[in-house]
Chains A and B, each alone.
Chain A
Amino acid sequence: MEALLEILKGLHPEVDFETCDTLVDDKILDSFDIITIITEINTEYDVAVPAEEIIPENFNSAEALYDLVERLQDED
């Protein structure tokens, strides 16, 4: 989780990612951020996010994103 928060903070240092659960709904993340997050998750956790998992529900909060990472790691 720490590493994921690092990635997110790198994109928007002023956002409280530990509590915010409307990252997509409130347009905090844009398409560039999504691309960056997926690329960096791949480097950090060695998981590839498949296209069908790139949906708003998985990116609305750091927690949802972390769940996704864990789920993808389990599938490996």
Chain B
Amino acid sequence: MQTNVLEYLEQTVFQVQDKVAFANESEGVTFAEVYRNARSIGTFLNRRGYTREPVVVFMQKHPKTIVTFFGVVYSGSYYVPIDEEMPKHRIELIFKSLNPRAIICDEVTEEMVKEFVYAGQVYRYEQMIQTEPDEDMLGDIRRQAIDTDPVYIVFTSGSTGVPKGVMACHRSVIDYIESLSDVLEFNRETVFGNQTPLYFDACLKELYPTLKFGAATYLIPKSLFMFPVKLVEFLNEHKINTICWVVSALTMISAFKAFDKVKPEYLHTVAFGSEVFPIKQFKIWRETLPQVKFTNLYGPTEATGMCCYFKVDRDFEPDEVIPIGGPFRNTEILLLNEQGQEAKPGEPGEICVRGTSVTLGYYRNPEKTAEAFVQNPLNTAYPEVIYRTGDIGRRNARGELLFISRKDYQIKHMGHRIELGEIEVVVNQMDEIKSACCIFDDDKKKIVLYYVGEVTAVEVAVYLKERLPRYMIPNVIRVLHTMPLTPNGKINRVLLKQKYMNQQ
């Protein structure tokens, strides 16, 4: 029985030693190098006393970063990837909850860490891989490990202004990788083109199947996602045949008619998720690439990446949505109504996840964990935790699950999950701000901020850029004399949204 994600690497490395496992546009690492260097890093860290604790990986997107993740797991600790473009203020917030003792950097981020409030150690990849792997030590670490130990923590937007760290264990990751690999039919010939950042769980789709099958992953430079023709040329140059991207990355290619100039020649598997795929754009993809298998994926970070899939098997009308289908093997989806009972056929309910894919919860945050990771209300016989996603769904006449909306103010913007409340908390921290409210323009996919205060929109924008990741910066910032309120004295979001949409 497999109990550790690293067994994927250990089972394939000697069959594909010299094959490139992870690469970017200019360099790559072979499976032999991944194996050697990850064990060096594991030895280096464990020898210095780091084990069963969070180790921050603060590196730019690079094959070395991935090797470092595995190195941290070899040491018996769990990795915490941090976005190098994230503002200092937000990283410090994360450090406050994490209190890490070790950070692994590259040449660029090493300089950035010097500016942080941080008292622990900083290590470099190049330094750690000088260490000779210690087989006895690594063997002992493995014997003491169990499959409910964490693999990683990834941070996701929190409505109180503090990001939440979601922790997933080996068993959940293995469960996910096995199910996903079955559905998308990965194999040794699979060549992934990675789009998603390494600091989210989304990249699990490429990293672990690459190890499991001895496949290959190309990290696509972020800048190419602005230039559709170059992006498709990159896919062709590296013979990429499998992509698991957010919808906005796919629609960028189709909406700008890049297929008129160049078509992906090797592509046979396209998985998409995180947002609703507009049917008009989806049709362009399907008609351009009739040989490609398209799969819609759905799932929250708290259920280890994805937990539902739908293999697109038919055409859809422009007013229809592509279903999220049904759960992966070994996962069950419950649709619960407000009374905590199962929704009747066709009725909406909150999507709740039951199974091994449910993660361990939020790091050092028992309150938030208790709100979302709850006892299954349908089971009064023994302890059983399910995850309440906050997403509302229903089943169609075919029994397929459909996503309808959110229960709260969480949105999906360019594939990122954002709590509008987190943006508002940061805006309200500005001295001059009296009141602030964010709404989301679902048509044009813009975050709109309304505020009251003696400060210009430019000053607000500058302030926010220092404190929030760029995908959370409002696309439209407008000042108001007074904030519209509901009879109860709360900000009238509905009215603000109507007002904004009417002006468009």
Contacts and interface: CB of A to CB of B under 8 A. Distances in A.
A24 B224 CA distance: 11
A35 B475 contact: no
B414 A55 contact: no
B229 A31 contact: no
B225 interface: yes
Contacts of B255: 35
Q: With a 10 A CB-CB cut-off, give which of A11, A13, A27 has the most chain B CB atoms.
A: A13
Interface residues of B, number: 27
Contact of B225 (A24, A31, A36, A52): A31
B229 A51 contact: yes
A13 B225 CA distance: 23
A24 B226 contact: yes
Contact of A54 (B227, B260, B458): B227
B226 A30 contact: yes
Contacts of B227: 34, 54-56
B258 A51 contact: yes
B1 interface: no
B381 interface: no
A13 B477 contact: yes
B257 interface: yes
Closest 6 CB pairs of A and B: A51-B258, A13-B458, A34-B226, A31-B226, A31-B225, A51-B256
A17 to B, nearest CB: 13
Given A14-B461, A55-B229, A24 B223 contact: yes
Contact of B475 (A32, A49, A52, A56): A32
Given A13-B461, A31-B248, A54 B228 contact: yes
Contacts, number: 58
B370 interface: no
Interface string B225-247: 11111100000000000000000
B122 interface: no
Contact of B414 (A11, A31, A49): A31
Interface in B191-242: 223, 225-230
Nearest to A56: B227
B457 interface: yes
A59 to B, nearest CB: 8
Contacts of A30: 226, 470
Interface string A21-49: 00010010111101110100000000001
Contacts of A38: 256
A12 interface: yes
B171 to A, nearest CB: 36
Contacts of B257: 50-51
A55 B223 CA distance: 10
B397 interface: no
A15 to B, nearest CB: 9
Contacts of B258: 51, 54
A43 to B, nearest CB: 11
